[in-house]
Amino acid sequence: GAVVSQHPSWVICKSGTSVKIECRSLDFQATTMFWYRQFPKQSLMLMATSNEGSKATYEQGVEKDKFLINHASLTLSTLTVTSAHPEDSSFYICSATAGGAYEQYFGPGTRLTVT
């Protein structure tokens, strides 16, 4: 089946630093990738949608200068949290679709803790 990986699985960083999270589709080409954020005991909230080679589309209320998304290839998208603050601590999950398929394949998530 379609497998999506994320790296790292967890990361701790100091306030004011930046951290990059990678999302890879291992056995298929991901035309579209999505980034979600999930707070404890809450649902997933879509942050942005990215298509390979083009700028990401951010959801309302998501700061694009803070959450930089790069979809440089059909198998890799990165999310960089710039100048992280404790309120950015969350579980970040990516997903990917192949071609025109509606099914999204989810990565295992990355736990970010900002101290």
Partner 1 sequence: AQSVTQLDSQVPVFEEAPVELRCNYSSSVSVYLFWYVQYPNQGLQLLLKYLSGSTLVKGINGFEAEFNKSQTSFHLRKPSVHISDTAEYFCAVDNTGKLIFGQGTTLQVKP
Q: How far is the CB of 18 from partner 1 (least distance, A)?
A: 23
**Structure tokens belonging to residue 93:** 């999950």
CA distance 109 to 35: 10
First-to-last alpha carbon distance for the chain, in angstroms, is 37
Using the minimum distance from each CB to partner 1, give the nearer residue, 38 or 82: 38
Nearer to partner 1, 28 or 105 (CB): 105
CB of 21 closer than 8 Å to CB of 93: no
User: What count of residues does the chain have?
Assistant: 115
Q: Which residues bind partner 1 (CB under 8 A)?
A: 4, 6, 32, 34, 42-46, 49, 91, 93, 95, 102-109, 111
Residue 113: CB minimum distance to partner 1, A: 13
